[in-house]
Amino acid sequence: MGFESKILSREISQIIWERNKTVGTAESCTGGRIAESLISMPGASGYFKGSIVAYVDEIKERLLGVDATLLAEKTAVSEEVAIEMVKGAIKALDVDYAIAVTGYAGPGGGTHDTPVGTIWLACGTEDNITTIKLEEDLGRDLNIFNATHHALQMFLQFLHDTEEVKIEE
């Protein structure tokens, strides 16, 4: 894990800990790297509940509840599937927040319409999900690193944008 990702993970952990919330991940092409980044912080067991590495459609369907028709129509590498992965992770892991990623890390797997390097990231709560699409093929290792880093950045921004207001009694 890079130095910058460690800083992002530290800030994420502090916010989630202070809010007394929980998080989990649903990862395809990153294979658990986002989860690895989140648990690198001491005390992560207080807010990180788990991860589902859904590398194939069967697991996306069975464990995350992604609709088979959606996968057939949009393919696994789509914004809609990334959103459903967030919702599925929240339900399956019983967490407040989830981060999901699905894409083509390469070198194979891409198509003419969805080339290698196309990666969808999503994060949020059951009723407030944000997404980002990455579209640059940097090679497999860098695609995975890039997706992990952007997912952490996106989630930290989401946390800042949805800051809970504490009401003074």
For residue 34, what is the domain's CATH number?
Answer: 3.90.950.20
- Tell me the per-residue pLDDT of 86-121, one tens digit each, with 9 for 90 and over: 999 999 999 999 999 999 999 999 999 999 999 999
DSSP annotation of 70 reads H
- The answer to whether residue 83 is domain-embedded is yes
Structure token pair of residue 86: 């967030």
Q: Structural domain tally of the chain?
A: 1
Q: If you ran DSSP here, which 8-state letter would residue 108 be given?
A: S
Helix-helix angle 57-64:79-93, to 10 degrees: 40
Sequential DSSP letters for 111-132? -SSS-TTEEEEEEEETTEEEEE
Query: Does any domain span residue 166?
Result: no
- Dump pLDDT digits (tens) for 33-57: 999 999 999 999 999 999 999 999 9
Domain assignment of residue 47, given as a range: 3-161
- pTM for this entry: 0.94
- The residues near 84 (Cβ < 8 Å, ≥ 6 apart) are 60, 64, 65, 66, 67, 70
Q: Does 169 fall in a domain?
A: no
